[in-house]
Amino acid sequence: MMKNIIEVRDLVVVRGSQEVLPGISLDVTPGVTGLLGPSGCGKTTLMRALVGAQRLRSGSVEVLGEPAGSAPLRTRVGYVTQAASVYDDLTVAENLTFFARVLGVERSSAEEVVASVGLADHRHQVVGRLSGGQRSRVSLAVALLGSPEMLVLDEPTVGLDPVLRRDLWGLFHRIADGGAAVLVSSHVMDEAERCDRLLLMREGRIIADGTPSEIRTRTGAADIEQAFLHLVEGAAA
């Protein structure tokens, strides 16, 4: 039995007067896990909780045996937000060198991750002059520094062309093959089949958990989008 990388228990997050996460529990093991659901369902809030960037009302979140966001996880967890989180006035290489120093990892790691996200030919370009998709890949490269054991990716393939999306999913699986847990959020249901396991989310709750095949079989649906609709309609009946 694989060891849990993430353990969430009775997690409650409240924003204003709205209960965004109403007490959810889940475990995540090594592999590529897809967190799928419509925009506004709580995916980003859950991911922020996993990396220690979200205030909790109650419950617990442990990552690699440590409380989420604690100092020992600094180089063990990589996080990519929806908005690029790098410096626009620095080149790709300068950004990676800077963050490598902050994290205390070898400079050679910066060279490796630039190549792994397909930006080797752009390493001397200023980030602010890159396309949106390229800027997102710079953020991904930063998250990969130091070979993290958990990688949290908030809609990393939005706005990318099909070839690049395919290549990045291949990268996610190679990282997972090394024993890491890769959690990828998306509201694009056709990306579901690329995942080892799926967590389908709606209105702050996990409504299905299993492999794509298991969820399709359980609902009798031809694809994950139909399975999601079946689950939603069944809950409303």
- The per-residue pLDDT for 196 is 96
C-alpha closest to that of 229 among 209, 200, 204: 200
Q: How many angstroms separate the CA atoms of 102 and 92, rounded?
A: 16
In terms of DSSP bridges, do strands 181-186 and 150-154 run parallel, antiparallel, or are they unpaired? Answer: parallel
pLDDT < 70 stretches in the chain: 1-2, 235-237
CB neighbours of 92 closer than 8 A, spacing ≥ 6? 114, 119, 122, 123, 124, 125, 127, 130, 138, 141
In terms of DSSP bridges, do strands 6-15 and 58-63 run parallel, antiparallel, or are they unpaired? Answer: antiparallel
SS3 230: helix
- The per-residue pLDDT for 105 is 87
Q: How many angstroms separate the CA atoms of 126 and 92, rounded?
A: 6
* pTM for the structure as a whole: 0.91
CB neighbours of 39 closer than 8 A, spacing ≥ 6? 187
Is the CB of residue 63 less than 8 Å from the CB of residue 150? yes
- The per-residue pLDDT for 123 is 93
- The per-residue pLDDT for 237 is 45
